[in-house]
Amino acid sequence: MSLTKVSYSMITGAPVNVLDFGANTVPGTTDMTAIIQAAHDSIVSSGIPNVLVFPAGTYKCTTGLTINCGYVSCTGNRSVLDFSTLGDSAAITFIGGNPFSGNPYNQANCVFQGFKILGPSTSIAAGLYFNTTSEPGPSHMIVKDCNISNFNNGITFFSNAYLLTFEHCDIWQCYRGVFSQTGATNAGENIRFNNCAIYNILFEGLRNENGSADLNFYGTSFDGFTTAAVITAGQVSFTGCHFETGYDSSALNISSNSFVTCTACYFLNSYATQNNYIVNNGYLSIFGGRIFAADTATNIVYSTQRLTIVGTHFQTTSASKYTIASGNYFVYLPNGSTVETNASVVTTAAVQAALFTSTNTATLTVLSTYVSLGVASRGGLFAFRDSTSSGTALFMADASAQTSVQNGITGFEMTYTGGQMSIRVTSGTVPRTIQWNFLQTNAG
């Protein structure tokens, strides 16, 4: 009696195993590129989406692989894809495909997970490259539990690459970690990184050149001797992220027409001569979090355009925590208890928390002169400027009351009665011109 070994290929509907196509995992012996590509292509040619399985081991690849994320998911078990002899090309290029008519987003079922992807170090090869010249592109897919190293660009986004999620991935020892390229079409919408690490990068952790891009980083660490993020266009947000850069390296470098928001982030640089640690020439908002810098550093945050800093703790005694060379700004620091602003906010009826006059300006002359701000809602934040005394005031308004956060305007009062916010000046008879800005709300 003889026994026949059952392979995946003998089971209808089972995942496709690269070992069934002749691949082996003996390091440094045989080029597996053609075998892996053939296993992949067998799924595409069948017309039925499936999973391509890579058992634990090392697979040597001398040329690049192409993965159609409309048909093929790839699953490894800490499997190594060894591209250490790759030339000037991408290790893995993701393209889009649509096996089912009427559903352009079948790629939503695609997952690429469980791989260590090793590059050639000295080459200008790319790691993961997302690009298709026309729809459907490599979109609506997840990359998770991957380790990418020794490439020029660890991950590159180009045309028709959008709605991509990266989870628990490490990108390290690359020239650049993540690159969103200029010249792309229909690309960059809602790309997110969750709990990833981009570290020991030789040049830039992130570079975004795509003006249509919307990149979002959550709980991601930028850690190493590099500039963490260079944003020359588009929109990028960081939430709960960690920035730790090396000597003579900036955490953020933001160009004009770029929009960056940092929420509850930690910025760390202890080099005594590190100046201009966060450089803004575009639109930068920093909410909460902490910025640690050496006490002798200068221009820790340096801005020439639109800057907003609210509730952020500067852990330094530097005299120049932030320097505004030009442009509008609003700064409120809890450890300084000061409010500074030259920002101008134009409000419309679309703002649900309060209704203003068209100019947000009123002249108050005597004690009985009031100006009504309308009905306040939860989370209303009001900043006031007095052209007479040059003072500023900041008030928070919730559903039941108002609280003075800081008031540096002589004789200035704010009241809340019957759901109506009002302001008045209670000293002097000289006309006092008050201008106010509605800064933030959580309307309910």
Candidate ranges 258-262, 370-374, 411-415; pick with highest mean pLDDT: 258-262
Residues 169-205 pLDDT 10s: 999 999 999 999 999 999 999 999 999 999 999 999 9
The answer on pLDDT for 403 being more than 80 is no
CATH of the domain at 71: 2.160.20.10
* Domain, as residue range, for 420: 361-440
Pick 149 or 348 by higher pLDDT. 149
pLDDT-based confidence at residue 9 (cuts at 50, 70, 90): low
Does residue 356 lie within any of the structural domains?
A: no
Q: Which of 163, 180, 197 is the last residue of a domain?
A: 180
Q: Which of 152, 180, 208 is the last residue of a domain?
A: 180
Does residue 339 lie within any of the structural domains?
A: no
pLDDT of residue 318: 79
The answer on pLDDT for 424 being more than 50 is yes
The answer on pLDDT for 121 being more than 70 is yes
Full 3-state SS string of the chain: CCCCCCCHHHCCCCCEEHHHHCCCCCCCCCCCHHHHHHHHHHHHHHCCCEEEEECCCEEECCCCEEEECCCEEEEEEEEEEECCCCCCCEEEEEECCCCCCCCCCHHHHCEEEEEEEECCCCCCCEEEEECCCCCCCCCCEEEECCEEECCCEEEEECCCCCCEEEECCEEECCCEEEEECCCCCCCCCCEEEECCEEECCCCEEEEECCCCCEEEEECCEEEECCEEEEECCEEEEEECCEEEECCCCCCEEECCCEEEEEECCEEEECCCCCCCCEEECCEEEEECCEEEECCCCCCCEEECCEEEEECCEEECCCCCCEEECCCCEEEEECCCCEEEECCCCCCCCCCCCCCCCCCCEEEECCCCCCEEEEECCCCEEEEEEECCCCCEEEEEECCCCEEEEEECCCCEEEEEECCEEEEEECCCCCCEEEEEEEEECCCC
pLDDT of residue 307: 92
**Closest to 83 in 3D by CA, of 115, 113, 112:** 115
Length of the chain counted residue by residue: 444
Percent of the chain with pLDDT over 70: 81
**Closest to 375 in 3D by CA, of 415, 420, 416, 423:** 420
pLDDT of residue 357: 34
pLDDT of residue 360: 65
pLDDT of residue 439: 56
pLDDT of residue 419: 63
pLDDT of residue 107: 73
| Lowest-pLDDT choice from 90-94, 142-146, 275-279 | 275-279
Does residue 14 lie within any of the structural domains?
A: yes
pLDDT-based confidence at residue 352 (cuts at 50, 70, 90): very low
Residues 220-251 pLDDT 10s: 999 987 889 999 999 999 999 999 987 778 89
pLDDT-based confidence at residue 348 (cuts at 50, 70, 90): very low
Q: What is the mean pLDDT of residues 266-288?
A: 88
Pick 143 or 370 by higher pLDDT. 143
Does residue 104 lie within any of the structural domains?
A: yes
pLDDT of residue 195: 98
Does residue 198 lie within any of the structural domains?
A: no
pLDDT of residue 82: 96
Does residue 383 lie within any of the structural domains?
A: yes
Instruction: Specify the number of domains making up the chain.
Output: 2
The answer on pLDDT for 438 being more than 70 is no
**Closest to 213 in 3D by CA, of 241, 240, 185, 239:** 185
Which residue type occupies 286? I
Does residue 354 lie within any of the structural domains?
A: no
Pick 414 or 307 by higher pLDDT. 307
Does residue 28 lie within any of the structural domains?
A: yes
Pick 287 or 329 by higher pLDDT. 287
pLDDT of residue 60: 96
Q: What is the mean pLDDT of residues 116-129?
A: 91
Q: Which of 143, 163, 180 is the last residue of a domain?
A: 180
Place of tokens 């082996």: 24
Cα 289 to Cα 23, 128, 264, distances in angstroms: 49, 32, 4
The answer on pLDDT for 30 being more than 50 is yes
Residues 54-76 pLDDT 10s: 999 999 999 999 999 999 999 99
The answer on pLDDT for 379 being more than 70 is no
Q: What is the mean pLDDT of residues 7-15?
A: 63
Mean pLDDT of the chain: 83
